[in-house]
Every structure is written in structure tokens, then in C-alpha cells.
């Protein structure tokens, strides 16, 4: 019943967008978990989304970021002789020339042109897919390297402020509202002993040693549209979390998820490691896509980006476990704790392979 009501609201929202002809009925589309997404058929195909107000409390600021970045990208793509309708997202305005429609319930709806003859993958099906995603996210960095990152809205404050995440973790340990701390002393100690990891990149940014960049902040494979014919990554999508940040964060999150040899909630930790072949593959693609737009220090800190993002994510899983599993969805008891432990194993494995990771980055840098 609820789904039908939402679909009726989606149909009503479509009528407020400036579309040619008579658009069809919105149909649920995709596998995203944040926004409600629909496919709309018509003279073209369109993507309609109801934005998640709980996560994005200022949806118009999100849309300002998206329009600013995509408009900038379109100019770059046109000058390079590319296809601006396929190589970046295109926002469709309402009939009142607004970037989104606000319905009577206070929800915001937005619409994009569908990127045709392209597909996205939820899981890495081949090493080539992983490489193509690295190339695409690196190219995203390169194209936006001269965009004034400081002008973007911070749509989720403190998203990758690892030092602030550490302080929240400390508070959760001290409060121990669920009485779980006594059972996870080893895990707590692991994160407390690595306070310098939490502070490392933020300190360099504060000291002016790292530049502020336009970052995507959700560098998973399924946020790249792959050309159906060539298999090449052609467009970075899902720009809701585009914000000022560090290039190492985007690189690191991709490694945390894509170079792990096991599932994020794997119970058998012997199956978890950071695959150095996949690390090298992604590093090579990312740096090639960046085309020299990163500073030497940014490039040399890519291994630290991988470690920091893995450390941060595991610490967030443990924090949520201590607070009663209120943020990350769980499907079984202890799932957040299992997630935390896989990230711990990855951090420890990266520490063991640190010299190899640095060598790989150095070699990939020298090939540019």
C-alpha cells in the first residue's frame, strides 16, 4: 500500500518537470538504498528520484553542488570533443526552472536524463571493471582539479573528519550505553592505539600541505556507468556526496571495498586481506586518470588514504555496535561487530604490507 502511494506521488511529481511530449508512468528502478529511484519513459528515458531528507537535510544545497559540478564538467567535455550527455549527468529543471520539485509532503524530487547504452555493476565482475572504475574516478579528479572546491556546500558535515569520528568513538566507549564494551576490549584497544591514524591526513590539510579537492566520497564500482560496447567507464554518477575533501579519501575508500578479498561482514577473518594485485591495478588506473593533476605528496599518501578510510569505517562500525546498532542496518546479531573486525584485519594487513604498497605507488608514479 505504501509503495503504491509513493508511486502515485512519483507520477504527480513527473508532471512538474519540463519534459517534451507525454511521459510514461514512473517504474521503480535500480538497487540504491538511499533515494527512491524511478525510470520514466517518454521521448527520452529519464531517472526520477525522491531525495532522502533524513540523510540530506538541505536538498537544495545538494542540487547546487551537482549543478555546479556537472555544468563545469560539461564545458570541459565539450572542449575535449566528448559527449556531454553521456560523460556527465544532466539535470532536468522543473517548469518553474527549479532544480527540484517540492511536493505537499515536503519531499524533494529531481530528474536526470538517462545515460543510454551504458550499465553499472554492483559487484566487481572482472579485474578490468575495477581498473575502469579507477580510471574514471581518477579522470573525475583531473577534470575537476581547477574547480574551486571551497565553494561547494558540505552536504554531510564531518563526513570524513576521522579525528572527529575518533572523538565520537571515545565518547561511545565511555558511555557504553548497551554494556557491550567489556566484550570488545581488544577491538576498542586496536582503535585507541592508532589515534595518530585518525589525525594524520586532517593535520596535513590544516597545515596546508595537502590541497582541498572536489571529492566524490562514494567511490564504489556501481557509481560508474560503463559503455555497453567498449566496457569503458564513461560517467561518474551519484553526486549527492560531492564535497570539498581529500583525493586520498576517494582513493582509499575504493581500495577498502574493492581490494578486500572477502565480504565486509565475513566472520572467517582468514579470508580477509588487502589484495596487492588489485591495489596495484587500481593505483595504476587512478593515477593514469588523474593525468598528473595530483601533487607528489598526494600521490605518495595514497597508501595512507587506504589505511585511514579502512580504519575510519571499522571504527564507525564499532561505534555503532557500542551504541546499539542504530545507524548501519543489520540483518543479524553482531553484524556490525563482524564488519568492524574485517576492517581491523585489513588495517593490520596493510600495515604488514606497507613497504610493498609504497613501492607500488612509487612505481606507478614513475610510469606517468
Separation between Cα atoms, residue 38 and residue 40, nearest integer Å = 6
State the number of CA atoms in the 13 A half-sphere of 47 facing the CB: 18
CB neighbourhood size of 318 (10 A): 26
Grid-cell match 531525495, residue found: 51
CB neighbourhood size of 366 (10 A): 7
* Alpha-carbon torsion, ordered 136, 137, 139, 142, to 10 deg: 180
pLDDT of residue 2: 62
pLDDT above 70: residue 211: yes
Predicted confidence band of residue 122 (pLDDT cuts 50, 70, 90): confident
CB neighbourhood size of 216 (10 A): 26
pLDDT of residue 342: 98
pLDDT of residue 366: 86
137-170 tens-digit pLDDT? 999 999 999 999 999 999 988 888 999 999 999 9
Grid coordinates given for 121: 555493476
CA distances from 220 to 34, 137, 342, 349 (A): 14, 10, 18, 21
Which of 124-128, 172-176, 310-314, 356-360 is the least confident region?
A: 124-128
Segment 235-257 mean pLDDT: 96
Helix (H) or strand (E) segment spanning residue 225: strand 224-227
CA distances from 286 to 28, 161, 296 (A): 33, 23, 14
Segment 210-223 mean pLDDT: 94
pLDDT above 70: residue 33: no
pLDDT above 60: residue 323: yes
pLDDT of residue 161: 93
Are residues 307 and 351 in contact, defined by beta-carbon separation less than 8 angstroms? yes
Quick one: the chain helix, strand, coil %, rounded to 5?
50, 10, 40
Q: What is the mean pLDDT of the chain?
A: 94
Residue 308: beta bridge partners? none
CB neighbourhood size of 231 (10 A): 12
State the number of CA atoms in the 13 A half-sphere of 319 facing the CB: 20
- What domains are defined for the chain? 2-116 (3.30.200.20), 127-366 (3.90.1200.10)
pLDDT above 80: residue 1: no
Amino acid at each position: 500500500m505504501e509503495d503504491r502511494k509513493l508511486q502515485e506521488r512519483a507520477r504527480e511529481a513527473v508532471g512538474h518537470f519540463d519534459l517534451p511530449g507525454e511521459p510514461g508512468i514512473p517504474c521503480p528502478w535500480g538497487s540504491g538504498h538511499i533515494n527512491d529511484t524511478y525510470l520514466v519513459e517518454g521521448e527520452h528515458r529519464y531517472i526520477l528520484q525522491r531525495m532522502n531528507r533524513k540523510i540530506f537535510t538541505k536538498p537544495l544545497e545538494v542540487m547546487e553542488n551537482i549543478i555546479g559540478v556537472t555544468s563545469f564538467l560539461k564545458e570541459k567535455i565539450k572542449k575535449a570533443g566528448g559527449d556531454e550527455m553521456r560523460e556527465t549527468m544532466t539535470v532536468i529543471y522543473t517548469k518553474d526552472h527549479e532544480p527540484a520539485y517540492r511536493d505537499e509532503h515536503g519531499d524533494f524530487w529531481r530528474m536526470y536524463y538517462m545515460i543510454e547504452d551504458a550499465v553499472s555493476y554492483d559487484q566487481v565482475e572482472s579485474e578490468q571493471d575495477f581498473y575502469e572504475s579507477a580510471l574514471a574516478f581518477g579522470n573525475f579528479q583531473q577534470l575537476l582539479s581547477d574547480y574551486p572546491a571551497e565553494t561547494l556546500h558540505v552536504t554531510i558535515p564531518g563526513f570524513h573528519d576521522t579525528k572527529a569520528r575518533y572523538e565520537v568513538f571515545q565518547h561511545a566507549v565511555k558511555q557504553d550505553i548497551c554494556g557491550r564494551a567489556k566484550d570488545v576490549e581488544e577491538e576498542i584497544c586496536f582503535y585507541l592505539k592508532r589515534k595518530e591514524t585518525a589525525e594524520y591526513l586532517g593535520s596535513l590539510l590544516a597545515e596546508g600541505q595537502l590541497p582541498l579537492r572536489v571529492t566524490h566520497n562514494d567511490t564504489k564500482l556501481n557509481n560508474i556507468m560503463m559503455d555497453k560496447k567498449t566496457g569503458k567507464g564513461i560517467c561518474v554518477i551519484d553526486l549527492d556526496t560531492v564535497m570539498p575533501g581529500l583525493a586520498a579519501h576517494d582513493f582509499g575508500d575504493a581500495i577498502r571495498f574493492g581490494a578486500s578479498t572477502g565480504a565486509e561482514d565475513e566472520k572467517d577473518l582468514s579470508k580477509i586481506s588487502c589484495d596487492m594485485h588489485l591495489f596495484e591495478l587500481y593505483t595504476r588506473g587512478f593515477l593514469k586518470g588523474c593525468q598528473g593533476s595530483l601533487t607528489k605528496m598526494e600521490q605518495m599518501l595514497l597508501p595512507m588514504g587506504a589505511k585511514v578510510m579502512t580504519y575510519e569505517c571499522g571504527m564507525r562500525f564499532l561505534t555503532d555496535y557500542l551504541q546499539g546498532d542504530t545507524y548501519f542496518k543489520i540483518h543479524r546479531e553482531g553484524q556490525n561487530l563482524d564488519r568492524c573486525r574485517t576492517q581491523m584485519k585489513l588495517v593490520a594487513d596493510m600495515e604488514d604490507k606497507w613497504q610493498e604498497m609504497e613501492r607500488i605507488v612509487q612505481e606507478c608514479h614513475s610510469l606517468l
